[in-house]
Structure 1
């Protein structure tokens, strides 16, 4: 499991954006922003709240598909079955949540400390 934002592990911060594209940014699923990120050859991640969006985000080249814990298990199963290139990620507040995400098959735990912007 990859872990972002823990004080024992080096990481690059993720930048939450609503309209601009930055290297290593993420945003809520938005077709226009995905197109913009692809045009700029930027590394991007997408917040998805349903499986269709997750499948489209993966096919579009998202680095991470960020979801809430209630969708994590289903997203992780689909990612494994379809061999997604994107990694399934969840934002967490506490170390204790790492084990829960591991049990669900999530690829990446993102501590809030790793996020720049208002997410």
Structure 2
């Protein structure tokens, strides 16, 4: 299981962006994160064309399948959607890793029971404004 943002485990942060301009304020070779929405498709296309690793916040199995096909490296899910999306990811052999978004270590046990690929703690997410 991958852990991003756990106190004891060194990991790279994710940089949450909401515009291409915000991307310019992230370190090179970083992982950027954004919500999977129609409004962000231009940003996602920019990331793909420039081979920038990205994570997409998804809420449904359909969104997860589309995000995988768009080239997302990670799918960030709320725990309530985790089991369903992980099952789809395993069935279709996604390259993207499914990460449950949590605030505290006490929530990690739930993700382990769901057999998610990993967890991303809220501390691992750095908001970048344009």
1:89 and 2:99 aligned: yes
Once the two structures are TM-superposed, the CA of residue 70 in structure 1 deviates from its matched residue by 1.4
- Measure the CA separation in 1 of the matches of 2:7 and 2:79: 23
More deviation, 106-115/72-81: 106-115
Corresponding residue for residue 64 of structure 1: 74
Corresponding residue for residue 26 of structure 1: 33
- Measure the CA separation in 2 of the matches of 1:37 and 1:45: 10
TM-score (norm 1): 0.92
- Measure the CA separation in 1 of the matches of 2:80 and 2:43: 25
Determine which structure has more spread, i.e. the larger CA radius of gyration: 2
- Measure the CA separation in 2 of the matches of 1:13 and 1:109: 12
Aligned counterparts, 1:1-119, within 5 A? 1-20=1-20, 21=23, 22=26, 23-29=30-36, 30-117=40-127
RMSD after superposition: 1.3
TM-score (norm 2): 0.85
| Moved beyond 4 Å, runs of 4+ | none
Deviations 1:11-43, CA, capped at 9 Å, x for gaps: 010000111235310100132221110011101
